[in-house]
Amino acid sequence: MGLLDYFRASRPKGSASVAKERLQILVAHDRAERGRPSYIPRLQQEILEVIRKYVEVDMSAVSVKYEQEDCHEVLELNIVLPDSATGRL
């Protein structure tokens, strides 16, 4: 399955006809060793700051999902951008 297929499948149902501007960011980390503290939560904040340079992000429109299992961790950020979203640069 290609990436575009994955994102198409994960898009909320019924949204096809409403052209919403969305950003989805996934960060997956395979760790060689357990036990070290994860830097992913800090990375999350910094990635959001980078995105806010380019588009307006209403923090209430950001949903965060974090899954961890053994040496794998995945962070998912889903951001619905405002309808008037225009690039800032």
Residue 43 sits in the site that holds a copy of itself (CB under 8 A): yes
Helix (H, G, I), strand (E, B) or coil at 71: coil
When asked if residue 35 is in the footprint of a copy of itself (CB under 8 A), the reply is: no
> Rg of the chain over CA atoms, in angstroms?
15
Of 41, 58, 64, 86, the one binding a copy of itself (CB under 8 A) is 86
CB of 65 to a copy of itself, least distance (A): 7
Residue 7 CB neighbour total at 10 angstroms: 12
Tokens of 57: 């992000």
Structure tokens at 81: 């951008």
Q: Which residues pair with 73 in a beta bridge?
A: 29, 68
28 part of the interface to a copy of itself, by CB under 8 A: yes
Give residue 20's identity as a one-letter amino acid code: K
The site that binds a copy of itself (CB under 8 A) totals a number of residues, namely 48
Q: Contact positions toward a copy of itself, by CB under 8 A?
A: 1-4, 6-9, 11, 19-33, 36-37, 39, 42-43, 46-47, 50-51, 53-55, 65, 67, 69, 71-72, 74, 76, 83, 85-87, 89
